């Protein structure tokens, strides 16, 4: 595999001469596709749940048929007449994280998933594929979509959830739209939510490369009210009635905060322009989670709120891996395996280091690289052992980074480049 920048530039350049015009294939509408992923460690199934549509398309209108990173899944929209892929996106899912847990070897479960694609003018096939971290196919589904199908639920007349823009740079055609959604805030607590949402927006935009690309982003706060304040904490037998049914203790990990009510999230977003989702939980308990091209969910009233929301957005938007690991144990949770190269751009097993940050290493940098105080202070790029929850055999680009710990004040240069590539991929045809 060649270096990712070369791959991205090559793919984009190769399609430039023949890059399809958005208006040739798509209307200015959104097709929402709800799926259910189900199965266990041995067998997985993708099932179509429902189709819906609404006015306007807030997603990208450039680089339609390529993806910046592989992810753990792939959605393709294929023109039925020509067989040409006219839109493509990659993703990861909570279901696939669960598949490597011990529970997945003992029981079959289901998880919700939703994807937004531009609304086709003519019949298309939608093909969704789930991939393991090794890139092996786990499950797939191919189904036809007729844009005239009367059973595509029309969401145009739904009353939008009250919302307010925090940062508005331009139209959705030109900008990346990020929605910040309230979870566990009652109607009476919406002023608190707005303050928290502004903090999240300001904090993200203070980090590079977001700071240098502020003009490419819109942030909107969505005032989704819950019946009860706070969120559920199963480890304390505390269950609350909240708008998005979020809870800690996901996969029995105390600080892992997620929701499986993905369809509810998108119901709440009807009538609002959005591409990326940040859910703020009204609690001071430490925790959160971020899933690539799915959502970020984090707690708003913990002292580490600011660094954590940036970190989790690094997952959900930037497709970055965790760079931390367990200091006193050669531990892996099964997410990564040695002998293959992870798809995330900020960790490497060195199996295919050419595709990662080798080109960014200062001349003469040893591989692996010994961490030093000076390298830590300067965020010096190297090849440091430990990352992706593993002490041995996995390497990260810097001693410290926003993807490594809560004390770091910036993303390392490798993470910054990875994020910037995604920003450019979404906003500029090359």
**Nearest alpha-carbon partner for 87 in 77, 96, 79:** 77
* The predicted structure's pLDDT at residue 328: 59
Question: What are 105-130's pLDDT values in tens digits?
Answer: 999 999 999 999 999 999 999 999 99
* Cβ neighbours of 144 (radius 10 Å): 11
* The predicted structure's pLDDT at residue 326: 78
Q: How far apart are CA 404 and CA 69, in angstroms?
A: 21
Cis peptide before 377 (omega within 30 of 0): no
Q: CA 159: distance to chain centroid?
A: 27
Question: What are 285-306's pLDDT values in tens digits?
Answer: 999 999 999 999 999 999 999 9
Q: Degrees (nearest 5) of the Cα angle 192, 198, 201?
A: 140
* Cβ neighbours of 83 (radius 10 Å): 8
Question: What are 75-86's pLDDT values in tens digits?
Answer: 999 999 999 999
Residue ranges per structural domain of the chain: 18-155, 163-316
Question: What are 299-348's pLDDT values in tens digits?
Answer: 999 999 999 999 999 999 999 999 999 765 545 567 899 999 999 999 99
Question: What are 52-74's pLDDT values in tens digits?
Answer: 999 999 999 999 999 999 999 99
* The predicted structure's pLDDT at residue 430: 67
Please, which contacts does 353-362 make with residues 24 or more away whose CB atoms are closer than 8 Å?
Answer: 353/383, 354/1, 354/2, 354/3, 355/1, 355/2, 355/3, 355/4, 355/7, 356/4, 356/397, 356/414, 357/381, 357/397, 357/414, 357/417, 358/3, 359/3, 359/5, 360/397, 360/413, 360/414, 360/417
Instruction: Output the CA–CA distances (angstroms, integers) from residue 76 to 55, 64, 86, 90, 156, in the order listed.
Output: 21, 10, 8, 9, 25
* The predicted structure's pLDDT at residue 335: 87
163-316 is classed in which CATH architecture? 3-Layer(aba) Sandwich (3.40)
Tokens of 84: 């040409």
Residue 362: burial class (beta carbons within 10 Å; 0-12, 13-18, 19+) = exposed
Asked whether the predicted pLDDT for residue 8 surpasses 90, the reply is: no
Rg (CA), the chain: 21
CB 223 within 8 A of CB 161: yes
Residue 304: burial class (beta carbons within 10 Å; 0-12, 13-18, 19+) = middle
Tokens of 23: 């208006």
Question: What are 220-273's pLDDT values in tens digits?
Answer: 999 999 999 999 999 999 999 999 999 999 999 999 999 999 999 999 999 999
Burial 158-194 (b: 16+ CB within 10 A, else e): eeebebeebbebeebeebbbbbbbbbbbbeebbebbb
Average pLDDT over residues 145-170: 98
Q: How far apart are CA 213 and CA 420, in angstroms?
A: 8
Question: What are 369-408's pLDDT values in tens digits?
Answer: 999 999 999 999 999 999 999 999 999 999 999 999 999 9
CB 297 within 8 A of CB 246: yes
Q: Which residues pair with 178 in a beta bridge?
A: 219, 276
Reported as a pLDDT band with limits 50, 70 and 90, residue 9 is: very low
Question: Domain spanning 18-155: which superfamily?
Answer: Peptidase M64, N-terminal domain (2.60.40.3250)
* Residue 181 CB contacts under 8 Å (≥ 6 apart), including other chains: 222, 224, 244, 265, 268, 269, 277, 278, 279, 280
Sole residue written with tokens 């199996």 = 351
Across the chain, which distance is largest between two alpha carbons, in Å?
Answer: 64
């Amino acid at each position: 595999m060649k270096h990712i920048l070369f791959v991205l530039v090559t793919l984009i350049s190769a399609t430039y001469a023949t890059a399809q015009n958005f208006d040739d294939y798509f209307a200015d509408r959104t097709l929402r596709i709800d799926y259910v992923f189900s199965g266990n460690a041995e067998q997985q199934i993708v099932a179509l749940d429902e189709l819906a549509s609404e006015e306007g398309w807030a997603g990208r209108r450039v680089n339609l048929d390529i993806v910046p990173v592989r992810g753990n899944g792939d959605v393709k929209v294929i023109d039925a007449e020509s067989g040409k892929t006219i839109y493509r996106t990659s993703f990861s899912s909570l279901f696939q994280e669960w598949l490597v847990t011990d529970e997945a070897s003992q029981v079959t479960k289901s998880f919700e998933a939703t994807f937004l694609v531009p609304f086709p003018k003519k019949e298309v096939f939608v093909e969704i594929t789930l991939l393991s971290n090794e890139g092996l196919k786990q499950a797939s589904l191919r189904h036809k979509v007729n844009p005239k199908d009367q059973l595509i639920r029309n969401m145009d007349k739904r009353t939008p959830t009250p919302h307010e823009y925090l940062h508005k740079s331009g139209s959705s055609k030109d900008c990346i739209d990020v929605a910040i959604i309230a979870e566990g805030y009652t109607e009476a607590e919406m002023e608190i939510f707005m303050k928290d949402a502004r903090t999240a927006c300001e904090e993200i935009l203070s980090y590079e490369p977001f700071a240098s690309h502020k003009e490419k982003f819109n942030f909107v706060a969505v005032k989704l009210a819950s019946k009860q304040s706070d969120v559920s904490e199963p480890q304390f037998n505390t269950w609350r009635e909240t708008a998005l049914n979020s809870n800690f203790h996901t996969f029995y990990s105390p600080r892992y905060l997620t929701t499986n009510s993905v369809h509810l999230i998108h119901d709440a977003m009807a009538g609002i322009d959005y591409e990326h989702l940040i859910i703020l939980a009204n609690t001071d308990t430490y925790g959160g989670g971020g899933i690539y091209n799915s959502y970020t969910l984090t707690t708003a009233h913990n002292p580490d709120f600011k660094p954590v929301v940036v970190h989790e957005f690094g997952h959900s938007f930037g497709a970055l891996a965790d760079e931390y690991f367990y200091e006193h144990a050669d531990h892996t949770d099964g997410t990564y395996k040695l002998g293959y190269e992870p798809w995330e751009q900020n960790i490497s097993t060195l199996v295919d280091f050419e595709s990662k940050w080798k080109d960014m290493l200062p001349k003469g940098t040893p591989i692996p690289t010994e961490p030093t105080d000076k390298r830590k202070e300067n965020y010096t790029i190297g090849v440091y052992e430990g990352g992706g929850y593993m002490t041995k055999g996995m390497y990260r680009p810097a001693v410290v980074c926003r993807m490594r710990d809560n004390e770091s004040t910036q993303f390392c240069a490798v993470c910054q480049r990875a994020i910037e590539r995604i920003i450019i991929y979404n906003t500029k045809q090359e």
